[in-house]
A and B are shown apart, each in its own frame.
Chain A
Amino acid sequence: MCAAHVPTRISNVLIMNRRHFIKQSSLASSLIFVPNFMRAFEQISPQHLGYKRLVMIQLSGGNDGLNTIVPFNDDAYYNSRPKIAIAKTDVLKMTDDLGFHSSLLPLKRLYDDGNLSVINNVGYPNPNRSHFRSTAIWQTASAADEYLQTGWIGRYLDAYGTSPHNAIEIDDSLSLALKGETNNGIATKNPNVLFRTSNDPYFKNILAHQNDTHLSEHNLGYLYKTMIDAQSSAKYIFEKNKTATNAVEYPQNAFANQLKTAARLINSGMETRVFYTSLGGFDTHANQVNSQKRLLSMYAEGIEAMVKDLKSQGSFNDTLIVTFSEFGRRVKQNAANGTDHGAASNVFIIGNQLKQQGFYNDLASLSDLDPNGDLKYTVDFRAIYATVLNKWLEVGKQNIINPSFENLNFI
Chain B
Amino acid sequence: MERRDIQHLYARAGFGASKPLLDASVSMKKKAIVDHLFETSEAIIPLEIDLSAFTNLSNQDLKNKALIRELRKKSRGELQTFNHRWMERLHTSEGVFREKMTLFWANHFVCQDNNIVYAQAYNNTLRTHALGNFREFVKAISKEAAMLRYLNTKQNRKAKPNENFARELMELFTLGVGQYSEKDIKESARAFTGYNHDLKGDFKFREFQHDAGEKVFFGKTGNFNGDDIINIILEQKECAHFICGRIYRYFVNDNVNNKHVEALTEVFYKDYNIENLMRHLFMADWFYEENNIGSKIKSPVEFLVGLQQLVPFTFDKTKDLIKIQKLLGQVLLYPPNVAGWKGGKNWIDSNTLMLRLKSPSIILANTHISIQEKGEFEDSFDKFYSESKKKQFIKATIAWEVFDKTFDGVSYDELQSYIILPKISGGTQSYLTSLNQNSQRNFCVQLMSLPEYQMC
**A interface list, Cβ under 8 A from B:** 1, 60-62, 131-133, 135-136, 145, 147, 149, 164, 171-176, 179, 184-187, 189-190, 193, 197-198, 200, 202-203, 205-206, 208-211, 213-214, 218-220, 222-224, 226-227, 229-230, 233-234, 253-254, 278, 280-281, 283, 291, 294-295
Q: Are B351 and A280 in contact, with the CB atoms below 8 A?
A: no
List of B residues within 8 angstroms of A186 by Cβ: 349-351
Bound form: Cα–Cα A36–B158 in Å: 65
Q: Are A205 and B431 also in contact (CB < 8 A) when A147-B337, A281-B380 are?
A: yes
Q: Which of B353, B354, B375, B454 contacts A280 (CB 8 A)?
A: B375
CB <8 Å contact, A173 and B327 = yes
Choose among B254, B373, B385, B427 the residue that contacts A173 (Cβ–Cβ < 8 A): B373
Q: A209-B430, A222-B348, A281-B381 are in contact. Are A198 and B354 (CB under 8 A)?
A: yes
Q: Are B255 and A218 in contact (CB under 8 A)?
A: yes
Smallest CB gap from B172: residue in A: A1
Q: Contact: A61 with B327, CB < 8 Å?
A: no
Residue pair B377, A220 in contact (C-beta under 8 Å):
no
C-beta contact mask, B236-265 vs A, less than 8 Å → 1, else 0?
A: 000000000000000000110000000000
The 10 listed contacts between A and B (C-beta, < 8 Å) are A132-B377, A145-B164, A172-B373, A175-B374, A176-B336, A189-B372, A193-B370, A206-B450, A211-B426, A226-B353
Given the complex, which residues of A lie within 8 Å of B95, measured CB to CB? none
Quick one: which of B417-456 are within 8 Å of A by CB? Answer: 422, 425-428, 430-431, 446, 449-452, 454-455
Check A291/B380 contact, CB under 8 A, given A203-B357, A213-B425, A219-B297.
yes
Max chain A Cβ within 10 angstroms of own Cβ: one of B294, B352, B449: B352
Q: Are B358 and A200 in contact (CB under 8 A)?
A: yes
Question: Are A230 and B296 closer than 8 Å at their CB atoms?
Answer: no
How far is it, in angstroms, between the C-alpha of A203 and the C-alpha of B354 when the chains are bound? 9
A220: chain B residues at CB < 8 Å are 294-295, 422, 425, 451-452, 455
A-side contacts of B400, CB under 8 Å:
none
Nearest-CB residue, chain B, relative to A4: B177
List A contacts of B337 (CB < 8 A): 133, 136, 147
- Inter-chain contacts of B357 with A (CB < 8 A): 200, 203, 227
Residue numbers in A under 8 Å from B380 (CB-CB)? 281, 283, 291
Q: A218-B255, A223-B455 are in contact. List 9 more A-B contacts (CB 8 A).
A: A193-B371, A197-B354, A206-B427, A219-B344, A224-B425, A233-B350, A278-B374, A280-B375, A281-B379
Q: By the criterion CB–CB under 8 Å, are B339 and A280 in contact?
A: no
Across the interface, do B372 and A227 meet the contact criterion of CB distance under 8 Å?
no
How many angstroms between the C-alpha atoms of A209 and B379 in the bound complex? 46
Q: Is the CB of A1 within 8 A of B167?
A: yes
**Residues of the B chain whose Cβ atoms lie less than 8 Å from the Cβ of A222:** 297, 345, 348
Please indicate the chain B residues that have their CB under 8 angstroms from the CB of A278 in the complex.
374
Please, how many angstroms separate the alpha-carbon atoms of A221 and B143 in the complex?
A: 44
B338 within 8 A of partner (CB): yes
Q: In whole angstroms, how far apart are the Cα atoms of A147 and B357 in the complex?
A: 30
B residues near A197, Cβ cutoff 8 Å: 354, 358, 370
Chain B stretch 389-426: residues in CB contact (< 8 A) with chain A: 422, 425-426
B372 touches A164 (CB 8 A): no
Are B379 and A226 interface neighbours, CB within 8 A?
Answer: no
> With a CB–CB cut-off of 8 A, which chain A residues contact B171?
1
For the complex of A and B, the 8 pairs showing the least CB-CB separation, nearest first, are A230-B350, A209-B427, A131-B377, A172-B371, A291-B381, A184-B349, A281-B384, A223-B451
Q: Is the CB of B425 within 8 A of A173?
A: no
Least Cβ distance of A197 to chain B in Å? 5
Contact present for A210 and B425 (CB under 8 Å): yes
Docked-complex contact B352 and A213, CB < 8 angstroms: no
Q: Is the CB of B297 within 8 A of A223?
A: yes
Give the CA-CA distance A174 to B326 in the complex, in Å: 10
Complex formed: what's the CA distance from A208 to B422 in Å?
Answer: 20
A247 CB, nearest partner CB in chain B, Å: 27
B353 contacts across to A, CB distance below 8 A: 223, 226-227, 230
B431 cross-chain contacts in A, Cβ below 8 A: 205-206, 208-209
Which residue on chain A has the smallest CB distance to residue B65? A335
* B289 CB–A CB distance under 8 Å: no
B375 to A, closest residue via Cβ: A280
On chain A, the residues within 8 Å of B327 by CB distance are: 172-173
Query: With the chains together, A285 CA to B326 CA distance in Å?
Result: 25
Instruction: Give the complex CA separation of A213 and B357 in angstroms.
Output: 21
Known: A1-B177, A172-B372, A173-B327. A226 touches B426 (CB 8 A): no
On chain B, the residues within 8 Å of A283 by CB distance are 377-380
Most chain A CB atoms below 10 A, which of B377, B425, B452:
B377
Q: Which of B336, B354, B371, B452 contacts A230 (CB 8 A)?
A: B354
Task: Check if A147 sits within 8 Å of B338, measured CB to CB.
Answer: yes
Q: Enumerate B361-383 residues with CB–CB distance to A below 8 Å.
A: 370-375, 377-381
A234 / chain B contacts, CB cutoff of 8 Å: 350
Q: Is B334 an interface residue (CB 8 A)?
A: yes
Q: Quick one: CB contact mask for B256-276 with A, threshold 8 Å, 1 for yes?
A: 000000000000000000000
- Most chain A CB within 10 A, of B327, B357, B379, B446, is at B357
Cβ-defined contact, B385 with A281, below 8 A: yes
The closest CB in chain B to the CB of A1 belongs to B171
Q: How far is the CA of A60 from the CA of B375 in the complex (A)?
A: 9
Check B342 for interface membership: any CB of A closer than 8 A: yes
Cα distance A202–B351 in the bound complex, in angstroms: 17
B221 located at the interface, meaning its Cβ lies under 8 Å from any Cβ of chain A in the complex: no
- Is the Cβ of B167 less than 8 Å from the Cβ of A280? no
The docked-state distance in angstroms from the alpha carbon of A145 to that of B151 is 11
The reply on B346 being an interface residue by CB < 8 A is yes
What is the bound-complex CA distance between A223 and B303, given in angstroms?
Answer: 14
Q: With the chains together, A308 CA to B440 CA distance in Å? A: 56
Q: Is the CB of A218 within 8 A of B295?
A: yes
Query: Contact at B354–A149, with CB atoms within 8 Å?
Result: no
CB distance from B148 to the nearest CB of A (A): 16
Cα of A231 to Cα of B297 in the assembled complex, Å: 20
User: A223 and B449: CB pair below 8 A?
Assistant: no
Pair A149/B342 contact, Cβ less than 8 Å: yes
Q: How far is the CA of A185 from the CA of B351 in the complex (A)?
A: 9
Residues on A with beta carbons closer than 8 Å to the beta carbon of B352: 173-174
| Contact assessment for A209 and B451 in the assembled complex, using a CB-CB cutoff below 8 Å | no
Residues in A whose Cβ lies below 8 Å from that of B254: 218-219
Complex CA distance for A214 and B427, rounded to whole angstroms: 9
